[in-house]
Amino acid sequence: MITVNRRLAQPPLPRWQQLWREAVTDPLELLRLVGLEQHARRLLPAGDTGFPLRVPRGFIARMQTGNPDDPLLLQVLPQVAENLPQPGFVHDAVGDAAARSAHGVLQKYAGRALLITTGSCAVNCRYCFRRHFPYADETAAANGWRAALAAIATDTTVTEVILSGGDPLSLSDAKLAELGSALVAIPHVRRLRIHTRLPVVMPERVDAAFAAWLAALPLQKVVVLHANHANELDASVDVACARLRDAGCTLLNQAVLLRGINHSATALTALSERLFAAGVLPYYLHQLDRVLGAAHFEVTDAEALALIAALRHSLPGYLVPRLVREVAGEPAKTPL
């Protein structure tokens, strides 16, 4: 029958898109899931929804039940500390609002063009500059890529295109394929770099269809993951990383140095070791952008430098990340 055929013709949502819809957005539910109902007084008052909670259930499953200081929980839980006075912390911490072009391309560094592909993420990280700028309208996707791709096509110095956001893997495979084909058609673009937290917070995103598309894409491919603590990596993340490697990607990680989450030599050593076990090399360790609401995560430069010195003693050189800060107007990330 026609109606039945029609229903059959509708492809089911990919599993990762179902998981996306099932993400936890209610802070009290999150506390219940990790056995911390009695900690509700720590939460931002309900109605303070400027930057709402959002976290996939698979990521919650990696949190330790009953631990109010769990390093994964602290990255996503909206806490009253965010509303304390924070001198020196501002809305636009990296001066990006001015640097953003209307069509979602950022060209600050030689040879590289960064595309703001989307404003959405699978997780809302409390320390992120994005908490004040969802960037919904300034993405390259908003105008169907045309202006963004034209800007890249006319500048023959661009050899590497970086997909950023938001999280570029929040786009559908079809959207990514459309973008990928357009980039392949630009002769001077040799490398595609993808900055994404999805293989960590929702590894199901790296499904067979996505991996097949990546493998077939005739560009050199780099995926820069974002994990801040060893506990974020489990067997499901290992699978996603293996798929990305099998698809021909070089895997790197960037982390943010966060007080109470990873600001110890022990935590950072464990992170590097765990990343390498998953086939990922540590790339950057970022000093926090001084964004309003994130002051309680800040680690001083002196502490940060001491931590890196300790890592140099405990790890092989290739597992020591570069400690950097983003300084508006500089031609590269600034080493500390």
Residue 121's binding partner out of ligand SF4, ligand PLP, none, with CB under 5 to 8 Å set by partner kind: ligand SF4
Please pick, from the candidates 114, 125, 292, 299, the single residue that binds ligand PLP as defined by CB under 6 A. Answer: 114
CB 80 within 8 A of CB 44: yes
**Cβ nearer to ligand PLP, comparing 106 with 281:** 106
Render 20-63 in DSSP notation, one character per residue: HHT-B--HHHHHHHTT-GGGGGGBPPTT--SS---B-HHHHTTS
Residue 201 phi, psi (nearest 5): -85, -20
Q: Pick between residue 11 and residue 331 the one whose CB is nearest to ligand PLP.
A: 331
Q: Is residue 125 within the footprint of ligand SF4 (CB under 6 A)?
A: yes
Q: Could you give the dihedral angle defined by the CA atoms of residues 109, 172, 230 and 27, in that order, rounded to the nearest 10 degrees? A: 110
Task: Please state whether 145 falls in left (phi above 0), alpha (psi between -120 and 50) or beta.
Answer: left
Q: Residue 175 is encoded by which pair of tokens?
A: 């959207």
Least Cβ distance, residue 121 to ligand SF4 (angstroms): 3
205 lines the binding site for ligand SF4 (CB under 6 A): no
Q: Confirm if 279 and 308 have CB atoms less than 8 A apart.
A: no
| Residue 140 interacting entry, from ligand PLP, ligand SF4, none, C-beta within 5 to 8 Å by type | none
Task: Give min distance, CB of 259 to ligand SF4, in A.
Answer: 16
Residue 182 CA to residue 5 CA, distance in Å, equals 34
Contact yes or no for 58/233 (Cβ under 8 A): no
DSSP string across 127-183: T-GGGG---TTSSGGGGTTHHHHHHHHH-TT--EEEEESS-GGGS-HHHHHHHHHHH
Query: Which residues within the stretch 81-110 sit at the binding site for ligand PLP (CB under 6 A)?
Result: 106, 108-109
Shortest distance, CB of residue 331 to ligand PLP, whole angstroms? Answer: 10
Contacts of 281 (CB under 8 A, 6+ apart): 251, 252, 253, 275, 318, 319
167: partner contacted, choices ligand PLP, ligand SF4, none (Cβ within 5-8 A by kind): ligand SF4
Q: Is 213 in the site for ligand PLP (CB under 6 A)?
A: no
Q: Which position has the token pair 């806490």?
A: 79
- Cβ proximity to ligand SF4, 224 vs 315, nearer residue: 224
Q: Does 162 bind ligand SF4 (CB under 6 A)?
A: no
Task: Indicate the residue among 266 and 334 with the shorter CB distance to ligand PLP.
Answer: 334
Residue 130 contacts which entry, ligand PLP, ligand SF4, none (Cβ below 5-8 A, type-dependent) = ligand SF4
Distance between CA atoms of residues 277 and 269, nearest Å:
12
d(CA 194, CA 162): 6
Question: Of ligand SF4, ligand PLP, none, which one sits near residue 108, judging by CB under 5 to 8 A according to partner kind?
Answer: ligand PLP
Number of residues that bind ligand PLP (CB under 6 A): 8
Per CB under 6 A, contacts with ligand PLP among 141-170 are: 162
Question: Minimum distance from CB of 11 to ligand PLP (Å)?
Answer: 35
| Residue 173 found at the interface with ligand SF4 (CB under 6 A) | no
The one of ligand PLP, ligand SF4, none whose footprint includes residue 106, by CB under 5 to 8 A per kind, is ligand PLP
